[in-house]
Structure 1
């Protein structure tokens, strides 16, 4: 019996079938007419109740008389399971053979790649599926530290569900894990639950106001950067192994990490980071970015961003975005001219491109 057939039998197993099986145990067999009379069922109902019992091997017809007799449930279960178990064993054996065939070429691949790394230590993967597969491999091989930078606010629940077992496995192996989010991720319950489980196992998670782009670095030697090809709906990745470039990326990470705020999952929302968040919004406003661009940079909804902008202009006593920028500069909120954080030092187009 195939799995669909078994599902159909289980779906039809009713109280009448169970009662008829108990009746068969008491009478050591079933005579349909007697069963209908004794159980107060119609002959049609008796026949309907018999069918699933036959399908589940709980009833068996005598080869000589054709009478129905009850079968021990453990024997019936063994008869049902035997063909499925044999099929599973065959599939498992086939899977092992396929895996061995494919992995037999791994030494040649690794030797070839090791020769190429020094001359061309960058790989581009345009297919997101290839990226996810490589990330799983790197996570399984990681032994010392993984660094992750995730821009935007709330994370995709499915992404978090898929990542959690992999991340927990790394932490349980003693891998140090540092994760950097934007402040707005604090307001998402799914992200908070995910972070809580990681922190329980020793991960370090912090947030900052702005993050330029996604970054993942394994063991200080392999960095994943997004490769956003406009022709592809889902971004691929550029994998960098050049030690100079990877160390540079890690230095940039360390600078942001030191200024970031610990993600305290016991505090709901991001009220403890509002001052930093609004200062970043103010700086983006002063650089001429639209509300949409500011919201995208801050990883928040446009409506939420506009509420913050309204609160900022009100606190400054301004009547317009322009006046808010002037007042903020006069009060020293944007840094002095020449300061890396000042509007004059970081020019940007009004569209944020």
Structure 2
């Protein structure tokens, strides 16, 4: 956030900074120092007074107020405004849910085929988006594929997080080998942090399957080429069979957790401690004191971690460690 977000344009910010340096100013003096005409300067000063950044001492002079107090007050007002906006958006979300219930309640079941074939990856994604949007209680998935591409994660993230925010339970089973990919592992752990449940299954016998509210499922037409086409099935008997299959795989799968990821990272106890300190202390002296070592030793630990992560600085080291689920 910049001062422009608080109502100050570039010229007004320059005027305010001049007021802070000189403590007490006049419109004439401020206009001269900023090379502005008096009418424009008077308007800027009135705005600074309105925002509570300066106060009028008498008819000619104005005093600058402590920015620690003045800006904090403006920030508090802005935070209040943002909270009101979030409340309004939450109200809109509840309206969407209500309207969606009306839509699904009145839609004729007969108008929706129990088995539908979809061709092409774009149409498949559109259908998955639609089913995710209208899911109310639970989404269950079996994902046998390899590491997820950045494009796949980018497309899935907003849908997954939206469902989790709505309180939809999300359970996913993936192949254990997929956790070897840093990007995929970080994404799955991020989902877990937001409330999703992820488990891993050994072997390659996992079938690709996504179930929505135990009432419809999507599966590939060709298991060798899942992008070519999919079948959407709402036939109760077939859906019940797929739910049973998922639950059987789920019971035998291994939960994914932070401990599992930390073990895979191969970090020593000291390295974990250094990473934790990097997220809290911004100076090497504080970090060294926290660990009870010399500043030189602490800096060596940090340098080793930076090399291990391929990071260019302390901030990037902590960021990459978080992305990989190490901290």
For the pair shown, which has the larger CA radius of gyration, 1 or 2?
1
Normalised by the size of structure 2, how large is the TM-score? 0.47
Normalised by the size of structure 1, how large is the TM-score? 0.45
